[in-house]
A and B are shown apart, each in its own frame.
Chain A
């Protein structure tokens, strides 16, 4: 059995304009890791994440979660995965609790999970305030709460710190570390800022112009070139 929570083989994608978005991407996210998916803007991070979650129609390659092909096991796999892709998806006319109730009904998880994730993301005091009146940071935290609702085995977060203030970024980093350490949740987190997530991740995958130019542990990344992490990252993405 593979020790990877998520694995892609020769994943390719081309936009309708003919532009190649992904070129044979072989992503391997080890079980129990915090995997930083890094790359400059437009490198293909979001396209990869949208493909693995089935939001984009797969053109070429294989995707498997927990050693099972995604195509044939979409529903049982999604039951074990939490996700936040790009900007938060919240119903503006509903409160935080109602937003979570919408998804709790679908995941069929215990109602107590709503209180748990509200506390974990610091949204317990929002009461009946509608999500449309939330700040961007609060919406982002609600998006993370939705991703955590089903107590996922794998958490996929696409640029989750967008819109968060420095204290929000630190709080989220601690929350993700805690989830990984105490509950064994594997986390795949994408960012275009290495400095932002280097303190958090155990493994990294670096994508540039649709190609995975590095994949391995943080120790391997540090020993893969001269200079600090930023310099290594810059060298990898500019070559």
Chain B
């Protein structure tokens, strides 16, 4: 366990100043900043809007509308590829394999970093949504802090669902990024499946494609999913399956580094 903790700390240091680390921060605040900008620009109705009993729900829906089906899958594809490809890009796999840690530790530490970065993204995104509601009262005298209570449960549940939806994308991108040295391969696979998911989402077996779940969640009640299908169970199943497959391929690689 201690070996894993040290390996995790080492991996965490590696992501410092990387494009993936910036992507998490910028991606987390991107949509909330646009919404905040729009709210400040149209400041006429702000005072009334901030007293609306469903203000937080409305902000939540506006932010997730763009994030859920578009930016989240794109961000996961990019971030996972960037984090995993760090070793290929710097020619450091060989040095990592010569360190006193098992291949399992290396595999799990990298995966844990990506999962923590995804959680970090969700945390920042939710903070961002909160700020879109809370900040305007600092800029205008007649605008008060929102009167509605902050719906923690809605935010937690919503984020939890989208987190699960993103896991299969993470799993497949991790597998491909560990396997191929060329950065374009994981990126191409990710983008290809992402585009395919748009087309397949209205097909009755669209849920077979692991990149469709964010879109299904975004559609909500309008989703054409057949009755009885739980996309979250499918997402979790895909993630576990892809991670196991990824691990087997990783440890059985003939040439390391």
Contacts and interface: CB of A to CB of B under 8 A. Distances in A.
A163 B94 CA distance: 19
A105 B92 contact: no
Interface in A73-103: 74-76, 78-79, 81, 83, 85-94, 98, 101-103
A89 B256 contact: no
Interface string A144-178: 00100000000000000000000000000000000
A10 B246 CA distance: 33
A105 B254 contact: no
B100 to A, nearest CB: 4
A105 B13 contact: yes
A90 B90 contact: yes
B9 interface: yes
Given A55-B94, A89-B94, A106 B102 contact: no
Contacts of B6: 105-106, 108
B91 to A, nearest CB: 5
Interface string B194-211: 000000000000000000
Contacts of B98: 53-55, 78, 81, 83, 85
A54 B100 contact: no
A102 B94 CA distance: 14
A199 interface: no
A126 to B, nearest CB: 16
Contacts of A101: 13
Nearest to B89: A92
B42 interface: no
B9 A105 contact: yes
Contacts of B255: 55-57
A94 B9 contact: no
Interface string B15-34: 01110000000000000000
Interface of A: 50, 53-57, 74-76, 78-79, 81, 83, 85-94, 98, 101-103, 105-108, 143, 146
Interface of B: 6-7, 9-10, 13-14, 16-18, 86, 89-102, 254-257
